[in-house]
Amino acid sequence: MTMTNPNEDNLDDIFAQARAVQVTPDDDLVARVLADAAAVQAGFTPVAVNPSSGFWAGLMEAIGGWPALGGLATATVAGLWIGVAPPASVADLTASYLGDEVSVSLFATDPGFDIGEMVDG
């Protein structure tokens, strides 16, 4: 035989009443919740690239805007300069890998340089 605890019986009765409570969100609460949702969702949009702004605007946004573009331009010019006029250390490194050093100057630094010499061999 099982003894029931009257205090727990009362509690079970109160639990049952609590479960039966019906609560419907009123219009004001729904409006507040939807306003919050709109505000939060609006904060998501700057992350997305606007398709109407075109390819270049999208690319600019993707790489981080003008400051990033400035850095990119500097790096590009520096790379071009190193390619055109390599420092000695770079030239040495090239020679050690390729076994021979071939240097072609784009600048006519020698006043006696004549294209005819190359043609005549």
Partner 1 sequence: MTRSDDPFAGVPDAAVLVAFANGDGQAARVLTARLLPRVLAQATRMLGNVAEAEDVAQDAMIRLWKMAPDWRQDTAQVSTWLYRVVANLCTDRLRKRRGAVSLDQVAEALDGSPSAAAQMQTKARMMALSDALAQLPDRQAQAVALRHLEGVSNPEIAQIMDISVRSVESLTARGKRALAALMAGRKAELGYDDDQPE
Which residues make up the interface to partner 1 (CB under 8 A)?
Answer: 5-15, 17-19, 21-25, 29-30, 32-34, 36-38, 40-41, 44-45, 48
How far is Cα of residue 63 from the mean position of the Cα atoms in its chain? 7
CA–CA separation, 77 and 72 (whole Å): 9
Tokens 């590009």: give the residue. Answer: 76
State which residue, 41 or 89, has the beta carbon closest to partner 1.
41
Q: How far is the CB of 52 from partner 1 (least distance, A)?
A: 14
State which residue, 21 or 119, has the beta carbon closest to partner 1.
21
Q: How far is the CB of 21 from partner 1 (least distance, A)?
A: 6
For residue 91, give every residue at least 6 positions away whose Cβ sits within 8 Å of its Cβ, in sequence order, or none.
Answer: 101, 103
Three-state SS at 49: coil
CA–CA separation, 69 and 60 (whole Å): 8
**Token pair of 4 as six digits:** 């029931």
**Token pair of 61 as six digits:** 């946004």
State which residue, 19 or 111, has the beta carbon closest to partner 1.
19
Q: How far is the CB of 77 from partner 1 (least distance, A)?
A: 38
State which residue, 31 or 80, has the beta carbon closest to partner 1.
31
Q: How far is the CB of 31 from partner 1 (least distance, A)?
A: 10
